[in-house]
Amino acid sequence: MDKDYHSKLDDEQLLSKTIDFLRFPLIVGVVFIHTDFSDVVIKGVKSINLVNYPIFTHAFFLFSKVIFEVCVPLFFLISGFLFFYKTENFSFKVYLKKLKGRFRSLFIPYIFWNVVVLLFFFLAQTFLSGSLMSGRNKLVTDYSLMEWIWSFWDTSHINPHVEKTLPVNSPFWFIRDLMVVVLTSPLLYFLIKRLKVYAVILLGIIWVINPYFYQPGLSTVSYFFFAAGAYFSINKKNFVEIMKPVLYQSGVLYLLLVIAQFYFLGINWWSYLYCAGIMTGLVFAVALSAHFIEKEKWQMGPFWTHGSFFVFAYHRLPLVFVIKFLFTLVRPHSDVALLFLYFACPTLIIILGLLSYSIMRSFLPKFTAIICGGR
């Protein structure tokens, strides 16, 4: 009995350490996803055509469109798992308590960081050189009252050329959709309790059929992966212990799926490969992290874990301006130059983000904790 007790403690410690470890590399992946050179517009003119740079285009596709696509689904899975973690009875009282906690950890940062971006736009449009502006977006000073409200939810109502339904701080679509899932969590809890794993399978089928379905606050990826994490938690299943034994199998399968995504790109059923790659890559990422954490070869200190949210929250607009500034400075016209910028831009943004977080945590610890959701 004592042996089983200690074994369980070890499993929970590995679970906690794996989740904490994953936060920072997943945010790094998110920053790389947003390092997109396909639509760098300066003074209303598109800077480059990526068709002319096949080596860079393949590298960008490999990292930003294949490997790092695992990051957001894995974040949703972790969020679902932690939301129901050690929750014996999901009563209305428990639900309200969790909403109160998510109000602090999600809603307050959501409002703050969208306001920051609006102020950033205002200052940039007012004082910065027009050469760094796209010239396509409506000026913040010209927003109507409804457009100010829409900026926190869906900016396509302000700038019709925007295809995606994103808040003004675009990466915060994840927080927006997560808040909606949290609000509807009693329904997910009921479905998982009644239908068990079949509820997750049903949501998974819906996601596979349309993995790119994104309406403001409603996406198939958020519900499926949040529900998958919730299923593990509600049924007291340690997803790290479940995924860890299939490290090598998932690694080999993931490699084959990555190759297949390159080979069959453009085929009408390619999205099925995309979904299979995300699910397999997710398992591989968890298993690989747990493997090296257990062997004490990988570790992540609290600074990196806590600072990851700050990097996520601040990175989007500074990244856009860094890309435009370096494009203006370097004027890349080769695969080598583009590859250099592809790795240099996110690295610079991440370093500046961590440095800013460190300074703010030292001088304004309470304020920094609030805008980072208590992290």
**106-133: per-residue pLDDT in tens?**
999 999 999 999 988 888 777 765 555 5
Evaluate whether residue 178 is within a structural domain.
Answer: yes
197 vs 327 pLDDT, higher one = 197
Expressed as residue numbers, the domain containing 81 is 75-237
Residues contacting residue 237 through CB under 8 Å, at least 6 positions apart: 231
Evaluate whether residue 369 is within a structural domain.
Answer: no
10 Å Cβ neighbour count for 286?
A: 26
- What are 277-312's pLDDT values in tens digits? 999 999 999 999 999 999 889 888 889 999 999 999
Terminal C-alpha separation, the chain: 36
pLDDT of 9 reads 42
Say if pTM beats, i.e. exceeds, 0.85.
yes
What does each C-alpha distance from 42 to 60, 90, 325, 342 come to in angstroms?
Answer: 21, 52, 10, 18
- What average pLDDT does the structure give for the chain? 90
Phi-psi region of 192 (alpha: psi -120 to 50; beta: other; left: phi over 0): alpha
pLDDT of 38 reads 81
Torsion angle in degrees (nearest 10) through CA of 192, 104, 177, 288? -70
- The mean pLDDT value for 123-147 works out to 70
Phi, psi of 369 (to 5 degrees): -65, -40
Evaluate whether residue 299 is within a structural domain.
Answer: no
Evaluate whether residue 224 is within a structural domain.
Answer: yes
CB-based contact 102:174 (threshold 8 Å): no
pLDDT of 5 reads 37
Residue 154 tokens read as 């869906």
136: part of which helix (H) or strand (E)? none
Portion of the chain with pLDDT greater than 90, in percent: 70
Q: How many domains does the chain have?
A: 1
Evaluate whether residue 230 is within a structural domain.
Answer: yes
Q: Which residues partner with 68 through β-bridges?
A: none
Evaluate whether residue 100 is within a structural domain.
Answer: yes
Evaluate whether residue 189 is within a structural domain.
Answer: yes
Chain position carrying tokens 């998932």: 250
Evaluate whether residue 33 is within a structural domain.
Answer: no
- The mean pLDDT value for 80-100 works out to 93
Long-range own/partner contacts, residues 258-266 (CB < 8 A, 24 or more apart): 258/62, 258/66, 258/67, 261/66, 262/58, 262/61, 262/62, 262/66, 265/61
37 vs 83 pLDDT, higher one = 83
Three-state DSSP state, 224: helix
Closest CA to 154 of 173, 171, 135, 139: 173
Positive or negative, the CA dihedral 338, 339, 342, 345 is negative
